[in-house]
Amino acid sequence: MSTQDVLKNASTLASYNVLLQVMFRVLTFLLNAFTLRFVSKELIGVVNVRLTLLYSTLVFLSREAFRRACLSGESGTKRSWRQVINLLWLTVPLGVLWAILLGCVWLWLLEVPDAQTVPHYGPAVVLFAFSGVQELLAEPLWVLAQAHMFVRLKVIAESLAMIAKCSVTVMLVIFAREWGLYIFSAAHLVYTGFLVLCYTIYFIRFLGSEEASKKNFPLQHFRDLLPCKAEGEPLVDWTVAQLTWSFFKQSFLKQILTEGERYVMTFLNVLSFGDQGIYDIVNNLGSMVARFIFLPIEESFYIFFAKVLERGRNVESQKKEDVAIAAEVLECLLKLVLVIGLVITVFGYAYSHLALDLYGGALLSSGSGPGLLRCYSCYVLLLAVNGVTECFVFAAMSQQEVDKYNLVMLALSVSFLFLSYMLTWWSGAVGFILANCLNMALRISHSLHYIHHYFQFSQWKPLRGLLPSPLLLVALIASAVITAVSEAAFCCDGGWLLRMVHIGVGGVFLLLVLVAVLLTETRLVRFVRTQLLHLYRKKHT
């Protein structure tokens, strides 16, 4: 597959993933707005913080290292998918082990919620852990689908699973509210079960078909997806296994950085279950754009960089055309996420109070909610830049560099936990966002240093993507000032007419910013347009 084909497939995958994440966030957005009217904020806090943390920790620690290693570049050698699949099946026993260990911690070492307010906590812990193990059964299929760019499979599988989860949640909240945590446990089991079922059915139908033959798919029968030793080769590729171990050591640290505030809330009890519920709702609202735009871009273009660049080799040792297109894509991606992040930061400040008031009423818009969302708007900018820089760095690093970076991650993890506790003690829930901002800035600094050194003696300077045009900066500053004045004058206690005026002011200045982008960021516009046109052509051929 040529470099251009890899780029097109990565762009298509990113586009489909963005659409998928949009749907997920919209459904979650509506589901949270619905459940807020029927269940207590304490129940939401236990589900969205503690139980979701159990599930995400189990799944992340069991599969993240395998995904990164098995989707990395092949360094000029032909990949043995038999060995890759054998390695991927290790995620299941590893998941069982984590389920037992984490389940014991969640049941016996953490504070147990009041049974009257939050019923059926113990069984819910067991069911959430089981749902994580159940999802790992589809891991070999997921990696195969990602590596061969089966973009529609992921969209269909996760869409059906999410719709099923939301449907079960709504029905049980309406008709069996007394079930408490059983409601969300059952819905999560349905979600992971649908994922496994969809991937299994697809590969049963695909393997051995005429389409698989045309694509020269490396596997012929569904039994090839089961662990089995082939004659004349080791059970697993030990080079990939060693890389997996390097990523596995790093995954502990990355998980702490990713879910750090939830660990602090869960293990240090700095917020009540009710306050945790409010924080999580505001956090989900603030991270909506980051999750459905930045995360799919990071996941998809990590695959692109890993396929185009040979891991551990400097620029001079790579193919010149591959490095050129990788540098151009990195520059355009940095400019894209920077522009989006700046827009969110500017307009998020003036519209946080209105957004929370419309979403959850006084429950969310009073107190610390608006300030928390404003801080998160600034954090999104850092989150955007870090996602793109790290996806390049992790695709280009050698195994030895990955091992060295584990020490950096360890220092960041320790500092983050300390900062989270101290800043939360000082400023409440906002302290979590401030700690995240400081640690994200340090991670970005490390990635920028690596990228600068990587391209230092070459003709390419992809970090120029972090320099917006002067006209765009002027438009953003004007938008920040005028929308802040508009909020003070028209929002949010003056009725719907004044609110609409405030929204109209934001719409006008958002249009002004977009015009500035079209006039000055022509390279970025061309990059986005060509990728979208490719997606359009592919969908209509």
Q: What pLDDT, in 10s, does the model give residues 135-171?
A: 999 999 999 888 887 877 887 888 889 889 988 998 9
In the predicted structure, residue 323 carries a pLDDT above the cut 80: yes
Q: What phi and psi values does residue 495 have, to the nearest 5 degrees?
A: 95, 175
Mean pLDDT over each residue of the chain, to the nearest integer: 83
| Of the listed ranges 81-95, 456-470, 520-534, the one predicted with least confidence | 520-534
Q: Which residue pairs from 325-330 have beta carbons closer than 8 angstroms and sit at least 24 positions apart in sequence?
A: 325/3, 325/4, 325/7, 326/392, 327/455, 327/458, 327/460, 327/461, 327/462, 328/460, 328/462, 329/7, 329/301, 329/304, 329/305, 329/527, 330/305, 330/388, 330/392, 330/451, 330/462, 330/465
Q: What percent of the chain has pLDDT over 70?
A: 89
Encoding tokens for residue 500? 């609409």
Q: Do 308 and 265 contact (CB within 8 A), yes or no?
A: no
pLDDT at 106: 96
In 223-270, where does DSSP find H-type helix? 238-258, 260-268
Separation between Cα atoms, residue 301 and residue 291, nearest integer Å: 15
Encoding tokens for residue 140? 């070999």
> Mean pLDDT: which of 8-12, 24-28, 299-303, 389-393 is highest?
389-393
Q: Do 342 and 478 contact (CB within 8 A), yes or no?
A: no
pTM assigned to the model? 0.69
What separation in angstroms does the CA of 43 have from each of 28, 35, 49, 174, 271? 16, 10, 10, 15, 14
pLDDT tens-digit map of 73-110: 544 445 678 888 989 999 999 999 999 999 999 999 99
pLDDT at 532: 46
pLDDT band at 225 (very low <50, low <70, confident <90, very high): confident
**pLDDT higher for 328 or 414?**
328
In the predicted structure, residue 293 carries a pLDDT above the cut 60: yes
> Mean pLDDT: which of 188-192, 243-247, 272-276 is highest?
188-192
The predicted model gives 260-266 an average pLDDT of 83
Encoding tokens for residue 101? 């260990």
pLDDT tens-digit map of 482-498: 999 998 888 777 677 88
The predicted model gives 461-487 an average pLDDT of 92
Separation between Cα atoms, residue 31 and residue 23, nearest integer Å: 12
Compute the half-sphere exposure of residue 456: CA atoms within 13 Å on the CB side of its CA: 7
The predicted model gives 49-75 an average pLDDT of 85
Q: What is the identity of the amino acid at 386?
A: N
pLDDT band at 57 (very low <50, low <70, confident <90, very high): very high
If you write DSSP's letter for every residue of 157-188 in order, what string do you get? HHHHHHHHHHHHHHHHHHH-GGGTHHHHHHHH
pLDDT at 522: 87
The predicted model gives 405-426 an average pLDDT of 81
Q: Do 67 and 143 contact (CB within 8 A), yes or no?
A: yes
| Of the listed ranges 182-186, 235-239, 452-456, the one predicted with least confidence | 235-239
pLDDT at 5: 62
**pLDDT higher for 20 or 30?**
30
